[in-house]
Amino acid sequence: MIHPTAIVHPEARIGADCEIGPYCIIGPHVELGDGCRLHAHVVIDGHTRLGRGNEIFPFASLGLRSQDLKWTGGLTRTEIGDGNTFREGVTVHSATAEGGVTRIGSHNHFLAHAHVAHDCQVGNHVIMSNFAGLAGHVVIEDYAVLGGYVAVHQFCRIGTLAMLGGCTKVRQDVVPYMLVDGDPGQTRAVNKIGLERRGVSPEVQAALKQAHRILFREQLAIPNALARIEQELPPLPELRHLIEFVRTSQRGICR
């Protein structure tokens, strides 16, 4: 179902049961999986591939050239999984350097005017609320939630099941399972509501609360805090992930 006012390049690959609404523009190197729905005035260009069942609302723009001033040409890609929602005015840009990829997983929700910059890597089941923005090379793990107007600095990482309050300014990595708020972003507590909604057991929640106290409240150097977490708390997968995330941080963590 392609509206007569839509412009779809003859070389674009359009899957079965796609709907392309009025005034949409689809470039020659675009691939849409089965069942995608483009409401109206949607632009998808560049070497961009979408999986199945994505829904894109008016004035969203996916896969266009990076805004990075270091861009000098070359083939870059945007890869998007299945079942994502891109609301009005969302922008997702392609990578900067030759062979680079901006990658988005599946079942994410990007609310109106959210922005995903070049070379970002977004996992699955992520929510970016209105006007939340990612600078280049940001990594967001699964089930993270970004409130409205959140701003994330280049090369930062947002851990799984982290929650960022509205208008938070993120300049360092956000530790998994934590609640961060403020300018600059500070870790306030464990993301208890998010953990409960995901069905995380009381045992794991209690261990994460203890880890939060050691890492963020006892004013220890990070290596000492991680050593205490390993010595005093059970070797749960969630704690192992938290420890590895902090140890591999390049920018430091929001404390």
Q: Any idea which residues carry the catalytic annotation? A: 118-119, 136
SS3 call for 81: coil
Q: How far apart are CA 140 and CA 113, in angstroms?
A: 18
Burial of 247 (0-12, 13-18, 19+ CB in 10 A): exposed
Tell the residue number behind the tokens 């306030």, with chain if given: 188
Q: Which of these, 54, 55, 75, 57, lies nearest to 66 by C-alpha position?
A: 75
d(CA 94, CA 117): 7
Report how far residue 192's alpha carbon sits from residue 124's, in angstroms, rounded to the nearest whole number.
Answer: 20
